């Protein structure tokens, strides 16, 4: 079975631009979460979506937004990019709460965003 996939792998943008990152969860997983991992740090929670609704939001500005589609894939959008947005953006998927394994997350390889 395919794991979590993310695209693109790498991305270079300039300050003020907009970026869209994409994630496809493992087949059967209905929850997707997004994390930002700055170099040398642990991942920081940005958003969680389950059943196409936002279920949680971390301490990130409104420039960050996301959505989940009917096929459970997800997009993360970042507007007005800043140098400090340069990071590895990780997507994670998990099963439903009813599975008893809702908090077992499987991570994709990430999208490396560089803002110049």
The contact set with other proteins (CB under 8 A) reads 4, 31, 33, 35, 40-45, 48, 50, 55-56, 58, 90, 92, 94, 102-110
Produce one character per residue of 59-78: b if its CB has 16 or more CB atoms within 10 Å, e if not: ebeeebbbebeeebbbbbeb
Closest contact distance (angstroms) between CB of 80 and other proteins is: 25
Q: Which of residues 64 and 106 has its CB atom nearest to other proteins in the complex?
A: 106
- The answer to whether the peptide bond before residue 8 is cis (omega within 30 degrees of 0) is yes
* 58, 52 contact by CB (below 8 A): no
Smallest distance from the beta carbon of 58 to other proteins, in angstroms? 7
Q: Smallest distance from the beta carbon of 107 to other proteins, in angstroms?
A: 4
């Amino acid at each position: 079975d395919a794991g979590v996939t993310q695209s693109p792998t790498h991305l270079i943008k300039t300050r003020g631009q907009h970026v869209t990152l994409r994630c496809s969860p493992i087949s059967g997983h209905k929850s997707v979460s997004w994390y930002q991992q700055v170099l040398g740090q642990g991942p920081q929670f940005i958003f969680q979506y389950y059943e196409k609704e936002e279920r949680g939001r971390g301490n990130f500005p409104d420039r960050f937004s996301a959505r989940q589609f009917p096929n459970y894939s997800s997009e993360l959008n970042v507007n007005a990019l800043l140098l400090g947005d340069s990071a590895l953006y990780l997507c994670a998927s998990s099963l439903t709460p009813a599975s008893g394994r809702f908090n077992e997350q499987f991570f994709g390889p990430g999208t490396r965003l560089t803002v110049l």
